[in-house]
């Protein structure tokens, strides 16, 4: 079951990174003109939304990975 979690966390992180890339491409590929078509303006704003959601998904995947790490047991050997 541990391997499944590691794969799931990696998939979540990769999905978040791809969402960030898609958002950046959508936002910067469309020029910001006042006479811009309403549909293109909505796509540009959608790119902003997807990029910000991608940041959240990536952070969630990283936090899941950090929480699932096994802690190293502390050796309490005080004999000298």
Selected residue with higher pLDDT from 57 and 4: 57
Q: What is the pLDDT of residue 1?
A: 46
Selected residue with higher pLDDT from 24 and 8: 24
Q: 80 falls in which pLDDT band (50, 70, 90)?
A: low
SS3 75: coil
Alpha helices in 1-80 (DSSP H): 2-29, 38-68
Q: What is the pLDDT of residue 67?
A: 86
């Amino acid at each position: 079951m541990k391997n499944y979690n590691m794969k799931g966390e990696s998939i979540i992180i990769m999905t978040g990174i791809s969402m960030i890339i898609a958002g950046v491409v959508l936002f910067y590929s469309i020029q910001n003109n006042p006479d811009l078509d309403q549909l293109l303006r909505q796509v540009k704003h959608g790119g902003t939304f997807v990029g910000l959601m991608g940041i959240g998904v990536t952070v969630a995947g990283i936090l899941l990975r950090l929480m699932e790490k096994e802690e190293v047991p502390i050796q309490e050997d005080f004999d000298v």
